[in-house]
Amino acid sequence: MSIYDSLNPRQKEACFCTEGPLLLLAGAGAGKTRVLVHRIAYLIEEQGVNPWNIMAITFTNKAAKEMRERVDDMIGYGSDSIWVSTFHSTCVRLLRQNIDLLGFDRNFSIYDTDDSKKVMKEIFRRKQIDPKQLPERSVMNAISHAKDRYLTPAEYKREVHGNFREEKIAELYEEYQKQLKNSNALDFDDLLFKTVELFEFHPEILDKWQERFHYIMVDEYQDTNAVQFLFVKKLAEKYRNLCVVGDDDQSIYKFRGADITNILDFEKVYPETVTIKLEQNYRSTRNILDVANHVIHHNIGRKDKTLWTENEQGDMVSFDQYEDNYIEAAEIAASIEELVAEGAKYKDIAILNRTNAQSRVFEEKLMIKNIPYRIVGGINFYARMEIKDILAYLKCINNPQDDQAVKRIINVPRRGIGQTTIDRIQNYALERGLSFMDALDMTEDIVELSGAAKKKVDAFAILIGDLKKEAETEDLLALYDRVMEDTGYAEALLVEQTEEARERLENLSELKNKIASYMEEAEHATLSGLLEEVALIADIDSMTGEDAVVIMTIHSAKGLEFPFVFMGGMEDGVFPGYRSISTEGEEELEEERRLCYVGITRAKKRLFLSAAKRRMMQGQVSYNRVSRFVREIPPTLLGAVKEKIIETVPPAHSYHSVERQSPKQSFSTSAGPLIYELGDRVWHIKFGVGTVQEILPAGADYEVAVDFDKCGVKRMFASFAKLKKED
């Protein structure tokens, strides 16, 4: 029996189609990783392709690790030559070899979000910019989106010419990149950007890698942004054996720069594309898939496909509406108790939220019932203060030009080096175009420093110099021990003798465990390699197998599956959020619907949807109607799980929350009373004249539905719509 006989007909077709562009539209739970692994095996065993010439790229370390393990199991000897990696890891490997052509040293640092924020804070302080007028976060987001679109500071400045605020951001973008260059550092966006830049300005490097990779496979293609698209397109230009796998219905990362048109327009970019749909689902029951299909089919901007399964029909999907979100959380906790009493394990159960803020009430109710749980998306291990401190020492040893690392630990533990001293050294470095570490070796020339300050700074510079020498001869574990001892970091925590200090020491012991495991697994263990691996680890990759209910956002749940899934907050204003409801056009709402679809398709056996009539939001009681996504599901597909349901779903033609207002009632917002009522004719500056159909509570505002004469029904917030009543 051939290994390919276990595939279904569409999977086999995808496996055997090896030449030219291939678009695999793989629905949720359709076994896409299985197809990719078998396709790699077919290329090697049946087509005689050298494993060295095959590349498979995905987004998360978790997905890359799973694919690597399955490839190794199936291929065996020679599988280690196949390039299986994430986008970011791939780019780091390429840049380590050739980034000197762009003016960087190969031992560059990788800045995380916190490092980048500190760089921007310093720029704001130096340029005396008021963060209240121009928030740092907005600037960082704008820079990130510019890099996603492969725009240099100069190109971004030309694009926003005439917009004062955006031109200011362009200047800050330029200064930010200068600071990174001075520190020999790249942020995460730069990893892709600089690789594409390397390909663009050094065609000989591009040609080298094109010759290396004759067959390229990209997973989760719907999540790619513009610069990732360019990276893949350039790499595949020569041989055009590009297989992309994705599901436009699961494109949920627009806020991170993902461009759904990359997958929707793939056939336009590659006219010779073969398109294969993988629609058979191996994860969920038929009832769950029926619900998912009914929701997603309301989207217009998608490629037509319908999930189906040979799995059992399964239990009906449950929907419950409760009086408030506290009762909702308590009832979900009670349902979890029932599931566990029936034989389920806690780790089989997930509570998926639209936003992180929803988790608090669930945490309280689970704690009351002593139900173990864990939050995914809390403080990442590598974001803890003590871990970042020791990593900063290691970064400083590896790349002395890393200004952020040096400044983080120059007074940690305390050495009496204050902020004034640091600022004076920084100013000296900036005036002369030096790195911060270089300036530490010139304290005699910094006249503003006192004699005492110079001694302390010199002692720190000598310490780092000694540790750098140790790094040349010691292995990583020995270097870690020297850092902990010579810096006095371990001693400072031991002296504290507090529970918090003990926990920090335990965390640092776990960091040592990480270093040991890295040394065992790495073919050539280096300090640069260790720091690179740590920098590329994501929250979701650190999920453990402990027996606890998982609470997470749906965005974090992408790629995961659970036997039992609870999705609370199924109300308009929560899911979908107010912003997507009130935004003109359908793009925002369609992304919210895709997110709902992703949540639904995480469930394998049972799916529980719920809503609250009243919910505390932003310090105010909000009265929201049942989510339109629930109302898009035929009532025949929704069943009652408990007899104590407070309110069942009404028929589809009469979906209204109990708070719906009756005609000719007065309405008032925080901005004042509305000048129109139900049934009134109103005028909108863009849509023209229409009739008010509904006015629904939305926190301190109202959601108004108007049937406009020219463009049909539009929904908007009363405070933003500025509707005028027709005489």
Q: Would you please indicate which residues are annotated as catalytic (active-site) residues?
A: 32-33, 219-220, 250, 602
User: Residue 114 CA to chain centroid, in angstroms?
Assistant: 16
Rounded CA separation 499/415 (Å): 24
Rounded CA separation 442/714 (Å): 66
Residue 366: closest CA among 410, 332, 325, 408? 332
Rounded CA separation 359/329 (Å): 9
H-type alpha helices, 375-450: 385-398, 403-409, 419-432, 436-440
In the chain, count H helices and then E strands: 30, 23
Tokens at residue 219, please? 């997973």
Exposure of 111 in the CB half-sphere (CA atoms within 13 A): 26
Rounded CA separation 64/61 (Å): 5
Q: Distances from the Cα of 612 to the Cαs of 331, 476, 625, 644, in angstroms?
A: 11, 54, 9, 15
Residue 189: closest CA among 88, 320, 326? 88
Query: What residues does 668 pair with on adjacent strands?
Result: 673
User: Residue 561 CA to chain centroid, in angstroms?
Assistant: 17
For 213, counting Cβ atoms within 10 Å of its Cβ (0-12 exposed, 13-18 middle, 19+ buried), the class is buried
Query: What residues does 86 pair with on adjacent strands?
Result: 58
Exposure of 366 in the CB half-sphere (CA atoms within 13 A): 20
User: Residue 717 CA to chain centroid, in angstroms?
Assistant: 29
DSSP per residue, 299-348 = -SSS-----B-SS---SPEEEEEEEEHHHHHHHHHHHHHHHHHTT--GGG
Spatial contact of 409 and 392, defined as CB atoms under 8 Å apart: yes
User: Helices 188-201 and 226-236 sit at what angle, rounded to 10 degrees?
Assistant: 40
Rounded CA separation 621/513 (Å): 48
Instruction: Provide φ and ψ at 455, rounded to 5°.
Output: -60, -45
H-type alpha helices, 622-702: 628-631
**Cis peptide bond prior to 400, omega within 30° of 0:** no
Instruction: Provide φ and ψ at 120, rounded to 5°.
Output: -65, -40
The enclosing H or E element of 189 equals: helix 188-201
The enclosing H or E element of 610 equals: strand 603-617
